[in-house]
Amino acid sequence: MVDVLLTHSYHLCYDRKQVHKMQPYPPLGTLYAAALLRQRGFTVALFDSMLEPPEQGFAEAVARTRPKVIAIYEDNFNFLSKMCLSRMREVAFAMLEGARSCGSKIVVNGSDATDHVLEYLERGADYVLLGEAEWTLLELTESLMSRSGRDAKQIAGLAYWDRRNDSLARTPARPLMRNLDLLPCPARDLVDIERYRNAWKQAHGFFSLNLVASRGCPYRCNWCAKPIYGDSFHARSPESVAEEMRQLREEFGAEHLWFADDLFGIQNRWVEEFAGKVEQRRAALPFKMQSRVDLMREETVAALARAGCTEVWMGVESGSQKILDAMEKGIRVEQIADARENLRQNGIRACFFLQFGYPGETWGDIQETIQLVRDTRPDDIGVSVSYPLPGTRFHERVREQLGKKTNWEDSDDLSMMFKGAYTSEFYRALRDALHAEVESWNERRTWAYSVRDRSRPYADDASACVPALWRTVEQLEMTCRNHDATQLPVLVCSAAD
């Protein structure tokens, strides 16, 4: 019997695009929560279903461990969890229903649970942990196991069903942590690291692990949901991050790292100090990270290269200044080319996140984005359509247009969920054409840590597919302009043929 069984509800096997990519990472947020519980004397087990279907395995883990508390605690550093994919919600509900009969108290935490508190409580959760939740989970566990003498109603950051008043109750919000170094290192020993290593080695020939140097993002793009950290930003000490890099290399055999921060390198001074600490420990490993184009200044990029950075993903979103301003992105188009060149000069791959379909975007705006990509020639791109999530100004703007489908099924869905200028079929064709063109530039280049998206039909010979894919885009664009949306399903098929 254990005190707490932790699990999560992002499962690679239910996300077809990510299965093809095969870049699995341990559930970092879940492992932070496990480490804190264990540090405070609780016995902890983990059911990690990242690499296996959860249905049978979760039931077996519950029967084997007989936990007093079950925590479905999401990895809030995983952007796929933040997307609140409907397939993963279904799995979470199934896990809740399966756990009801075991007598354990059941708690959940994550972006989706925060946005849909009542649904999770109705499906069997006793408590929803709101916001940053490691300390909330610890205090609640102490209360449930009669170690603290505190009632749950006295614990900040909780939602639960008040049966006495037959109503939803919420306790006051919990302040965010300022000193992240107070948390112990993630409990990676609870994970079957060899399974992750084997998956990476077989798919890519190297082994990558994840870590974070900070939490949150202070920028206020109006489409970006922040149910966990809001607009705050707190960073760990550069020394602690460099030391964790050394541990991941020497103790776990990592050959590559992914910094899963929302934004890495906000403060140039921090990055400079971080690079120095990495060099002192000889801890440098090739790593990839996410940032903004306006943060990729010459001195920052040079320091990142010293620390081992080999790939930066930037939220470029659009080549149209009109759309960037509408998104309240806070960048200028010309900064995109500057960032790309700074990264190129330091031997770092520059990769763009692009977003199509934002309200007001025209064919002319889309063409500006295409031309930006052709002019700057990024090393890779990720293409999405605008995705309305609760709590954003963008969601409020399009809420009346939303139908029954308010989340993607999986990360390759790429469905328009509000009335945009074009159809989902058009944007999928645009994604494929733009991906293929970028891939065609890079076909003859090899790089040890690049990962080809094997789900794409053009993966083996991108250049041969490019003209036909762009013809499809142009045909669909004309179809969308010239016909009502009700006619599109038939016309799309004929255009694609």
DSSP, residue by residue, 2-29: -SEEEE----GGG-HHHHHHT-----HH
What is the pLDDT at residue 217?
A: 94
pLDDT digits (tens, 9 = 90+) for 7-57: 998 888 888 888 888 999 999 999 999 999 999 999 999 999 898 878 788
Asked if pLDDT for residue 311 goes beyond 70, the answer is: yes
**% pLDDT > 70, the chain:** 93
Question: Quick check: 271 and 38 in contact, CB under 8 A?
Answer: no
- Please give the CATH superfamily to which domain 4-170 belongs: Response regulator (3.40.50.2300)
Q: Where are the alpha helices (DSSP H) in 283-354?
A: 298-307, 321-326, 333-345
Question: Quick check: 176 and 132 in contact, CB under 8 A?
Answer: yes
Q: How far apart are CA 36 and CA 405, in angstroms?
A: 37
Tokens representing residue 117 in the block: 């508190």
Q: What are phi and psi of 383, to 5 degrees?
A: -115, 130
Q: How far apart are CA 460 and CA 278, in angstroms?
A: 38
Res. 484 pLDDT band, cuts 50 70 90: low
Residue 107: its H or E element: strand 105-109
Domain 206-393 has CATH 3.20.20.70: yes
Domain ranges, ordered by start, for the chain: 4-170, 206-393, 423-497
pLDDT digits (tens, 9 = 90+) for 227-274: 788 889 999 999 999 999 999 999 999 999 999 999 998 999 999 999
Res. 443 pLDDT band, cuts 50 70 90: low
Q: How far apart are CA 220 and CA 180, in angstroms?
A: 22
Question: Mapped to the 3 state alphabet, what secondary structure does 156-223 carry?
Answer: CCEEEEECCCCEEEECCCCCCCCCHHHCCCCCHHHCCHHHHHHHHHHHHCCCEEEECCEEECCCCCCC
Res. 450 pLDDT band, cuts 50 70 90: very low
pTM for the model stands at 0.91
For residue 403, the one-letter residue type is G
